[in-house]
Structure 1
Amino acid sequence: MKKLINATETVLTESLDGFVSAHSDLLALGEEHKFVRRIQPKAGKVALISGGGSGHEPLHGGFVGHGMLDAACPGQVFTSPTPDQMLAAAEAVDGGAGTLFIVKNYEGDVMNFEMAAEMAAGEIMTVLTNDDVAVETSTFSTGRRGVAGTLFVEKVVGAAAEEGRDLAALKALGDRANAATRSMGVALTSCTVPAAGTPTFDLGENEMELGVGIHGEPGRRRVALASANEIAEEMVTAILSDFGDRAHGGEASGEAFVLLNGFGGTPLMELYLMFNAAEQLLARRGVTISRSLVGNYVTSLEMAGCSLTVTLLDDELRRLWDAPVHTPALRWGL
């Protein structure tokens, strides 16, 4: 294992120190490295808090700032944060209007955020993201996984919170944005968790994992390595079909936001090539991309591969996506 680290037990704390120092104009670090928060929480605004295991950067800490999250709680690599982290974050960014948790649908995350909500003094509601269409018949008690579509939810809910919407309205918006979003990923290699020191799973030189999870969980199936066009066809078909009766003919159509997300080990050249393939396939099936992102936003350490996220847009979701944002990972309009 070759990694730029000092010791496996200090990877997270040293990384957080560097992250907050590099973005000291935007962020502050919570006591005992429990969370990162906006340097100036906004009074009278619903506080938005998310979090999860580290190793997916810039998710979630990279989305803390104006127009998105107020705080993010980082767990150890691929490990859920603890309830005391969420409680500390909620107290630190409380604006007096309640708190909204945005939680990816993994058993540990769901359980710990629920425990924090039960122990908190103020009013807390939760939006659960579960955009991963790869989980057709789930073996997980919590159902399908929350993956890169979480970024879209955090962005539009963050914009609405800046406008002053109340807690119930923000939860309803988050649930609606999640319902409009589907994702699917493919892995070409595994990743290596520093504490483990060995790859999470084994893939042959000519194999790929279709529908892989962001922690290296098994996908729909393991198949022979295919061309970019064939991979894009698989993902687009799975995503559009999963929208079901949301559109005529059983598939999605109309205007969409698309995220072509890298898992950490794939060059941008290849990600843009995949975006091109996906765009052409979507256009043939009646989906027009009006908003997009390409890059490493929800990663899996150094895994090679990518995911495709499609969100069906309406006027409100488009406007909230376009609203100003100023975070370490997303900045426009300010």
Structure 2
Amino acid sequence: MKKLVNNPVNVVDEMVEGYVRAHPDYIKQLSSNNRALVTVRETKQNKVGILIGGGSGHEPGFMGYVGEGMADGVAVGNIFSSPSPDPILEVTKSINKESGVVYLYGNYAGDVMNFGMAAEMADLEEDIEVGMAIATDDVASAPKEEKEKRRGIAGELFIYKAAGAAADFGCNLEEVVRIARKANDHTWSMGVGTSPCYHPQTGKPSFEIGDDEMEIGLGHHGEPGLEKGPLETADKLADRLLNDILIDSGITKGDEVAVLVNGLGSTPKMDLYIVYRRVEQILSEQGIKIYCSYVGDYITSLEMGGCSVTLMKLDDELTKVMDHPVNCPMFVQK
């Protein structure tokens, strides 16, 4: 393990400090909690607040998506660990504009517990109404009929975008939650891991895998996938990931989709574009139209090797939210 850190115990706090110093025109740290970050822009009164968050190690998620058109604040947890309720509540109080706040997070036990506790505290202590939309886009993590048990992975990006746009459009809390949940219900992802990442505080790999192996369906924290096997070509890998997504989603000829090919931290963009090339070929052959596409590192896992593919099935409403301009440090769409 080789990392550019000081004391491993301080990596998250030093990262947050560096991020805030690097982007003072976008984000600021609340004095009440150093893991609570909010936008510096002046948001409209009565706009629904959008709060995202999760464990560190997924950069540019989640801090990178605080800005115009997406989130108003973020609560930062330790590496691969949920933020505690305290920073979540502090962000909630800061971004509330009298119309409530929507929490967006992945379907992990710690996040479900801590965001749920923060929502109760916001209601009881601050009289702030909170809505929630939980990402469950990972098709490899549970059967189709048990979608509510699935993990949230890179598809969370599309949920942030949908909710952020809905809030900007002036939708009320109920409508923002509905659109965010609809985005989740129309989004499917599947990934592959080719090499582990190393936790800076322990120096241990997130999972074990041979130099000539890959693991299909691996989670972003190293959770077991569907199967481990020999390393395949980019085309064969894309065929497998996309085939499972298309079967699960029912996306078919005539449908229109948004596509994300997401790197997990150490996969070169060269590789990601080769994967995207094959994804585009398959969708084109099947008569599925790509409306917009994103290729790069959007939600990572430290320096894990591998990638994921995400499809969102669009309709008029979801196309509108995907078109909405975004200006964040790590994501700009005009």
Both proteins in one fold, TM over 0.5: yes
Map 1:279-318 → 2, pairs under 5 A: 279-318=280-319
- Retained in 1: the 8 A contact 2:136–2:147? no
- Aligned pair 1:133/2:104, yes or no? no
- Partner residue, 2:229: 223
Q: Does 1:23 align with 2:29?
A: no
The CA deviation string for residues 18-68 of structure 1, in whole angstroms up to 9 with x for no partner, is 111111001101233122110134122100001000000111110001100
**Letter of the structure 1 residue corresponding to residue 69 of structure 2:** G
Q: Distance in 2 between matches of 1:252 and 1:148?
A: 24
Is the contact made by 1:41 and 1:70 (CA closer than 8 Å) also made in structure 2? no
Identity %: 42
Distance 1:71 1:258, change over 3 A: same
Contact 1:47/1:98 (<8 A) preserved: yes
Q: From 50, 64, 67, give the equivalent of 1:65.
A: 67
Which residue does 2:111 correspond to in 1? 109
C-alpha distance after superposition, 1:266-324 (max 9, x if no partner) = 11111101100111112222321110100000000001110000001112211211111
Number of equivalences: 327
Residue in 1 that maps onto 2:92: 90
Report the counterpart of residue 144 of structure 1 in structure 2: 150
Question: What aligned pairs does 1:210-289 form with structure 2 within 5 A after superposition?
Answer: 210-244=216-250, 251=252, 254-289=255-290
Cα RMSD, aligned residues only? 1.6
Report the TM-score when normalising by structure 1.
0.95
My pick for the range that moved more, 311-320 or 126-135, is: 311-320
Deviation for aligned residue 1:80: 0.6
- Quote the Cα distance in structure 1 between the aligned partners of 2:282 and 2:147: 34
DSSP 3-state at the match of 1:188:
strand
CA gap of 1:137–1:315, structure 2 versus 1, over 3 A, is closer
Q: Deviations over 1:150-183 (max 9, x none)?
A: 1001012101111211000000101111010000
> Which residue identity lines up with residue 122 of structure 1 in the other structure?
I
Secondary structure of 1:202's partner? Answer: coil
Tell me which residue corresponds to 2:120.
118
Q: What is the Cα deviation at residue 137 of structure 1?
A: 4.6
Kept after mapping to 2: 8 A contact 1:53/1:76: yes
Matching residue of 1:208: 214
- Counterpart of 1:5, as a letter, is V
Amino acid at match of 1:4: L
Q: Does 1:178 align with 2:184?
A: yes
Give unpaired runs (5+ residues) of structure 1.
Answer: none
Distance in 2 (CA, whole Å) between partners of 1:180 and 1:277 is 22
Report what 1:188 is aligned to: 194
- The residue that corresponds to 2:11 in the other structure is 11
> Aligned partners of 1:142 and 1:181: how far apart in 2?
13
Shift of 1:252: 7.1
Counterpart residue type for residue 19 of structure 1: Y
Q: 1:100 aligns with which of 92, 99, 102?
A: 102
Q: Is the 8 A contact 1:73 1:89 kept in 2?
A: yes
Report whether the alignment pairs 1:154 with 2:160. Answer: yes
Q: TM-score, normalised by structure 2?
A: 0.95
Match of residue 53 from structure 1: 55
Distance 1:223 1:30 in 2: 46
Retained in 1: the 8 A contact 2:68–2:326?
yes
Q: Distance in 2 between matches of 1:40 and 1:229?
A: 43
Partner of 1:44: 46
* Distance in structure 2 (CA, Å) of the matches to 1:157 and 1:143: 21
Any idea what SS the aligned residue of 1:33 has? Answer: coil
Change (3 A) 1:252 1:97: farther
Question: How far apart, CA to CA, are the structure 2 residues paired with 1:241 and 1:303?
Answer: 27
Asked if structure 2 preserves the Cα contact closer than 8 Å seen for 1:153 and 1:174, the reply is: yes
The answer to whether the 8 Å contact 2:326/2:333 transfers is: yes
| 1:227-282 CA-partner distances (Å, limit 9, x unpaired) | 111100110011011114xx5xxx57511000000001011111101100111112
Deviation at residue 141 of structure 1 after TM alignment: 12
**Structure 2, gaps ≥5 residues long:** none
Whether contact under 8 Å (1:34, 1:89) holds in the other structure is: no
Q: Distance in 2 between matches of 1:145 and 1:230?
A: 24
